[in-house]
Each structure stands twice: as structure tokens, then as C-alpha cells.
Chain A
Amino acid sequence: MSTMDTELSEISAFIQSIPPFDSLPKQVLAQLVRELTINYVRKNEALPPQGITDPRLYILRKGAISCLSSGNELIARLGEGDLCTAFCSEDIAQQDGIHIVQTDEDSLVYSVSIEVLADIGERFPSISDFFSNDSAQRLKNKMNKVNEEAIMASTLMNTSVSNFYQSPVETIECSSSIQQAAIQMTEQGYSCLVVVDGEEPVGIVTDKDIRRRCVAAGLSTEQAISEIMTTDMCTIDIKNNAYDALMTMTAKHIHHLPVTKYGNLAGMVSVTDLINNEGHNAINLSSIIHKANSLEELKQISDLLPKLQIRLAKLGSSADHVGKSISAITMAFTKRLIEMAEYKFGQAPVPYAWLAAGSQARQEQLAHSDQDNAIIICDTMKPYDDAWFENLANFVCDGLAECGFIYCPGDIMATNPKWRQPRKVWQSYFTDWVETPSPKALLNSSVFFDLDTIYGDKTLLEDVRQNMLKSTQKSTLFIAHLSKNALGLRPPLGFFRDFVLKPNGKHKATLDLKHNGIAPVVDLARIYALAEGISAVNTIERIQQAAGTRSLTKASAENLIDAYEFLGMLRVEHQAQKLMRGEEPDNYLSPKEISKLEREHLKDAFKVIKTLQDARQSSF
């Protein structure tokens, strides 16, 4: 019936507001709506409603529903517009450990049979992906999409394709053999050639064409290259921007695009050329810092840091990229200050290294976080040498503070004599922490398990680190203590209406992205690294290197990285919003700030983290 769309408009509008149904075309949405069943379930009654045995997806229209484990532990609480997938499979399985689903309020519940959903899913993969995948897979899909979007949304819009193309373009005569083309590609290091007939471009050939249309097809390599070239060649005029070039290549599924000028072949642009475009800003800033001659100049440059963070976020850079860029700049500031100090106080009496601890060492710093630093000095130092290092520490830490890096509230700074010591003392610190671990000492010192040399003699730290890693690998007691500390921070369960749902069932107005999302992953990564003797300190690198060890499976590692990157992305976006409004950046995200779909992804990320925390816990 043609008018039906408008007649069920209220229900349609409601369903359309819920991901993944928001992606459905109108007619399909109407079809879905017409297959809905409506039930009214009284407070404290169980789902599925009486008399329903077939597998169905439930959509809460009004009311509240709790999902509980067999031990009556709250797993999720659903509000208006939330989906309940617990009864989606044939055997009404206990998905995600859900054992009981019951209403907390009188509830109006829509439902649709899985057959209808599967039928729609066959035509619209976004629907089947959403329901057939587990949370880790959904998160992976999301992060893949984010990465694609990051490329598209970058500065490419404002940059002409002329900034990227390679010229002159490599050509080959159409009568040449396939083998000759392969040889030319190999010699010149190109994966793509334009085929010409005299001056006239007639087609394009890539190494993929040689693989697919020649080798795989059993074609002789003596055949003319014109046999396997693509003739309906796409080109782009040099006046277009880089974004258009990328869109053309994305739409046509090609990786190379000849660039024309006044209709003539002028060069070639590749997807790789476009992607490599990011991150120049951070490099520029670092070189300006390096040339600064006074603290005053450094202070002026430091004012640009929040702007850089906004800009990186706007470009759609990943949190990893933002963290590395900002950390690199902090490092540049620190180095320049040390150089200024050495100029002022003269050369160091003995070799030393300036260390960064915590987020800077992990290269996960955001604009103007607090400074965590230390100095490790060669064992040949004499007691009176410390005066020089004290001067250095004061100069650099004060300078950093002037540049907006606030003093560490926990006094983890080189100005603190405890953290300005010769190598052998550092060695003894680590020995103590590892051999006689106490929860409190570990809490204070865990920042020192993330250390990196910023300036000076790298071997000093590496020496201590290698010894430390040797002992942490062996000490199950130490790892157990560290784990116990780390597992204290648990992610929330998810969301209920516009609130964050904590594991104890209580609600909070905001999500602490740092402590309830990012820090638990950082902590897990540190545990894996120390348990497996991995010297990397960057969280993603630690997870990547721990992948496939007895601490972490490869699949779990990928899931954890996805969760970490998603949380990081939300944090970067949230902070960019705050910075743009001229407010102090923080880590407190209100559920109202994010879309329904992002909430779903967050829930998935929490689930991944919780699973790995549980696995860690059960290993003792």
C-alpha cells in the first residue's frame, strides 16, 4: 500500500533512529516496520514475552530492561531505543553470558523475527554485519571505516593534486611485450605504466594486471602489453584537488590515476602518495623549536600546541598519530631546554640521560599534560657532580612549566633528588619494586615501567631496562601484584538512557575516558610487556609485540588495539571540541555528546577490555 509509509510514520521514525536501521532505505525500513510485533510487558516480568518461542530481536520502545548473568550480576541495562539481541539465535542462547532478561519498568517492546532480519541482511550487509558479528568484530569494522574516513577527511580537500603527482609519467609503447613492461616496472620501481601509441595515451597497465590478466590467466608474456591494459583510462585534470583524486580512485577501485594538464598527460598520482601526506605539521613545529634561541621563543611556540592538537583531530588523525606528534613536540621542547641548560651551565661532568616517564615515554601525550621526567647518571659520578644535574633539572622543569607542561603533582620529576640518580641506584629501585612488590609502591612507581630516553646516553637506561625485564619475566609475584593494581580500574557496562552504567548498576553522568577506558588498556599492555620481557613502551607496540605470546593471543591483541584506538579517537575528538571552545581539555565524556552508534561501539570496546581483564585475573 503506497500510503503506508506515512501511516506508520511514528514507528518508522523511531526504528530509523536506531543503528543499524538508520542505514536502510525508506522502502526497506517500511518493510521491516510492517513485520514488527508489539508486546506490553509488565514490570519484573521476563523476556521473551509469554508464548513467544521463535528467535527474535527485541527493540525497547518504552520502559527499562535488565540483562543479568546466571549469578544475577548485571550485564546490561536497556532503555528506550536499545536493542536486545539475547534471543536472536535458535537456541535462545545465553549470549554474552546473559541468562535472565527482565523488565525493570512496564515496557512496550517491539520485536522482529530473525528470518525477516536475515532476509533484509542478505540485501543489506550493514544489517547482517551488525547482528552476526561479536563485539570485537563490530569494533574492527568500525575502526577500518574510521581509518578510511581519516584519509578522506584530511587536508586533501585543500591541496591541489599538483602537490602530489609524480612527473614525468612512465610510459610504454603499446606494441611492447608484457615481459618488457614487467622489466621496465621492476627497473624503475613503478607499479603502473601508461601505455602509448606514439604520443597518444591509449591505456594503463599495473603490476596487478600482469598478475591477474597475464600470469593467472596463463597468457604468454610475449603478448603485446595492449592485450592486458585497461583502455577506459580514468584521468584527472591537474586543477582538481587531491580529495577529488582520492574519491575517483576509491569509486573506481583503482590505485593510480594519470593527471592531465590541458588535456595532455602530465603525471601520475597514487593512493600511497595521498596517504603519505599527513603529519608534516608536527615536523615543521619540531624544527622551529630546534631553532628557538630563548625561553621566550619557546613559550610562544608552545601556544601553538593546542592548535596543533585541534588541527590533528580535525584531520581525522588517529589518537596514536596525535599522541606521537604531541609527544615528539614535547621531546623537542625538552631537548632544546637541555641544550640551553648545557650552554648555560657548561658540559655535564659525566655522561647522563634525560628520561621521560609515563605518557610521554609511551608517546601517548596530549597537549599540555603534566611533565613526568627523571635523570639517570653514569655510575662514575661524584657526589658533588649532583649540583650540575640539579641545575639542569631546575632549568628544564621550570622551562617546561613555562611552556605549559605543568609540574607533576606526584613529584615525579628530575628536580626530585630521588629521581635524579646514578644507574646503580636506578637498578636497585627496580630490583626492589620487582623482588619485594607492595601494591602501594607499585602504584607510585608503575610510571617508571614506561621510560624512554629523551636526550643523552641511551645505553644507561637500556642497561637497567634489560636487567629489569629479565627479572620481571621470572617474577610471577611481581606480575600478580601489578595485575591486581591494574585490574582495579574496570570499564563501565555500557549506557542506560543518557547515563553511564557502572558495574554496580549505578549511573553516572559522564564517562571517564582516561581511567575507565584508556588506562585499563595501557595497564594491560604494561603487564604483557613486563611478563614477556618486551622493551617497547608504546601501548600499541607493546600489544603488537605481545601478540602470540602466552600472555595474549593474536586475535585478542587485535581486538584490544581496536578498542584502544576507538577510545583514543573519542578522547581526541572530545578534547578538540573543548579546545575549540577555549575550555580546558579533559577526559569526561557525556553520553549525550556521542551518537547512538558510537555508544554501541564503546560498549563493544568495554567488552573487549573486560574480557581481557577477566582473563588476566583468572590466570592467578
Chain B
Amino acid sequence: MTSATIANNALLNWLIGYEAKRKKLLHKLPDGALKDFLSVPFPDLKTPIQQIPILSVDFETTGLDAKQDKLLSVGFVEIDHQQIKLNSCYHQIIKTKAQLEESNVIIHHITDEQKDRGEKLRIVVEALLKALTGKVMLVHFARIEKQFLQQACFELYGVIPPFPMIDTLVLAKRKLDKRDVAYDPSELRLSNLRNKYKLPEHHAHNALNDAIATAELYLAQTSKQRKKQQITLKDILL
């Protein structure tokens, strides 16, 4: 190991949580989708912002509690070199036993009938893990995706793997906090932030559309900073 990489590793202290956990879990796991996912290192913290491999992800769920509520659908799309690639997009409804509540159906537009024709949770999670391999996960308001994905992994594999994430809501919040002026929390909603960046109107509440909408917001947020000093993954990681 050269001295330079040792120095790099020193800088990676911050990430030790992710990398250490990844390596530790890797040895425990049997062969399978989760092991494959964890066998590839996460992107280096020093990766310049233009080169971070990203997967923008969105979930629709039956509620906010990952322990009680169920994952209904998963949508994702890749960002490669600051370009959203629609040919990587994925959307799948999950077959769950839970009865859908009407108040919720209004939001996600997934009916019981559609849900019953959905895929098994394991298949969908494995597709997500495969796409997420070696990438950083991009979400808007990380709590839901983080908790539901960890919960799903726990149910399927008995472990809770690490997921490095970028949260467009947190990126916006950090910027607002820096101004030290009071703001309305509703400003942080995906649609309001998109309006702020003059992105097109976005209506559909569907996991894939929201993943694309989040990805577009992320491009707008990070393009605004490009002119200053080189920004790396470390600066924007959750």
C-alpha cells in the first residue's frame, strides 16, 4: 500500500462506519444478492461530484412505520456523470398481504388489484440491491427509504446492511440553515423545491416518477455549486 493510499484511507475515517460494516457483514453472509451487493466497495468519499455513481430511489408505502407498514412499490433510475439515464429506470409494485386503506390509495394510486398482481418483496429488493451495487442511493427525505429498506433486508436476510445516501431534502435544508433565516418547512417539499429551481410541474405520485423528479432536483441543486471549489461525495453525503 502506498503512502498516498494510506493517507486517503485516513481521510476515509468518516466513512469507516459504512466500509467497516460492509466488510464485516460480507464475511458473515451466505452467497446471494445481499452478498453480491456488499462485495463491491462504496464510492470513494473523494469522488468528484460529477463522477459519483448514483441511484435515485423512491418507495411508496402503506404508512410511515417501517415495522408495521408495508412497502408497496419501488422505483429507481441511475445518474451517471450527472446524467439521468432513463434506460436504467425500474418500477415494480410489490405483492403484500396488507389491505390498502382508502386514504392512502389516494396518494399512491396503487389499487388492491394492482398490488395483487405485483412481484414478491424478495425479487424487488434483489433488483434494487443489484442496481445499487457500488452506488450511492439518492432520495428525498431519507427516513422512509432507509428504514423500509433496512427493515426489508432484516426480514429477508436477517441483517441490516449499510446504505450510503444523499438526501435532496437535507441538501436544501443545509443551504437554508446556512442563511440563518427562518423558513417554512413546506419549502423543503419535493414539488416546492422543484418549483424553486424552475423544474417542470410534477404531479404523479408514483415511485419511478418521484425517483426521476428527485434526480432532476439533485442535478439542479448540484449544478448550482459546480463553479466553486471541487465538491466531492464527502460534502453531500447524508
Contacts and interface: CB of A to CB of B under 8 A. Distances in A.
B91 A1 contact: yes
A216 B203 CA distance: 63
B161 to A, nearest CB: 26
B84 A37 contact: yes
A38 B84 contact: yes
Contact of B83 (A14, A33, A37): A37
Nearest to A61: B200
A37 B86 contact: yes
A106 B83 contact: no
Contacts of A106: 197-198, 220, 223
Contact of B50 (A51, A52, A105): A51
Contacts of A105: 198
Contacts of B19: none
A105 B86 CA distance: 24
Interface string B163-185: 00000000000000000000000
Given A40-B220, A42-B226, A49 B83 contact: yes
Contacts of A8: 86, 89, 208-209
A35 B216 CA distance: 16
Q: Name the interface size band of chain A.
A: 20 to 34
A41 interface: yes
Interface string B203-230: 1101011001001100110011010000
B72 to A, nearest CB: 14
B89 A62 contact: no
Contacts of B215: 38
A192 to B, nearest CB: 54
A377 to B, nearest CB: 70
Interface in A4-33: 4, 7-11, 14, 33
Given A7-B209, A10-B209, A42-B223, A37 B85 contact: yes
Nearest to B109: A6
Interface in A195-221: none
Nearest to A31: B87
A108 B199 contact: yes
Contacts of A42: 223-224, 226
Main secondary structure of the interface of A (DSSP, over half): mixed
B interface, over-half SS: mixed
B203 A10 contact: yes
Contacts of A50: 50, 82
B202 interface: yes
Interface string B183-202: 00000000000000111101
Contacts of B91: 1, 3-4, 7
Nearest to B91: A7
B75 interface: yes
A38 B198 contact: no
Nearest to A35: B87
Contacts of B204: 9-10
B120 interface: no
A39 B87 contact: no
B21 interface: no
A106 B93 CA distance: 35
B187 to A, nearest CB: 18
Nearest to A1: B91
B81 interface: yes
Nearest to B219: A40
Contact of B82 (A3, A10, A36, A39): A39
Given A7-B75, A40-B223, A42-B223, A34 B200 contact: no
A36 B86 contact: yes
A62 B86 contact: no
A35 B50 CA distance: 21
Contact of B200 (A7, A33, A108): A108
Interface centre among A14, A40, A62 (most CB of B within 10 A): A40
Contacts of A36: 86
B183 to A, nearest CB: 21
B89 A38 contact: no
A8 B203 CA distance: 12
Nearest to A3: B91
A425 B165 CA distance: 90
Q: Most chain-B CB neighbours within 10 Å: which of A8, A14, A33, A34?
A: A8
Interface in A231-251: none
Contacts of B89: 4, 7-8, 34
Contacts of A9: 204
A82 B209 CA distance: 23
B81 A51 contact: yes
Contacts of B202: 10
Nearest to A51: B81
Interface string A29-71: 0000111111111100000011110000000011100000000
A34 B198 contact: no
A11 to B, nearest CB: 7
B87 A34 contact: yes
A421 to B, nearest CB: 66
A50 B82 CA distance: 9
B216 to A, nearest CB: 6
A11 B223 contact: no
B208 to A, nearest CB: 5
Contacts of A40: 82, 216, 219-220, 223
Nearest to A62: B200
A222 B203 CA distance: 74
Nearest to A112: B86
Contacts of A41: 223
A103 to B, nearest CB: 11
Contacts of B81: 51
Interface string A583-612: 000000000000000000000000000000
Contacts of B203: 10
A78 B34 CA distance: 47
A14 B212 CA distance: 15
Contacts of A4: 89, 91
Interface in B34-62: 50
A7 B50 CA distance: 27
B198 A39 contact: no
A41 B50 CA distance: 13
Nearest to A41: B223
Interface string B81-109: 11111110111110000000000000000
B219 A39 contact: yes
Contacts of A52: 83
A3 B110 CA distance: 12
B236 to A, nearest CB: 15
A40 B86 CA distance: 14
A182 B159 CA distance: 90
Nearest to B201: A10
A49 B219 CA distance: 12
A38 to B, nearest CB: 4
Contacts of B199: 62, 108
Interface of B: 50, 75, 81-87, 89-93, 197-200, 202-204, 206, 208-209, 212, 215-216, 219-220, 223-224, 226
The 5 closest A-B pairs by CB, nearest first: A40-B219, A38-B84, A36-B86, A7-B208, A7-B91
17 contacts: A3-B93, A4-B91, A7-B89, A8-B86, A8-B209, A9-B204, A34-B89, A35-B87, A36-B86, A39-B82, A39-B84, A39-B219, A42-B226, A49-B82, A50-B82, A51-B81, A108-B199
Given A9-B204, A36-B86, 5 more contacts: A3-B91, A8-B208, A37-B84, A38-B84, A62-B199
Interface of A: 1, 3-4, 7-11, 14, 33-42, 49-52, 61-63, 105-106, 108
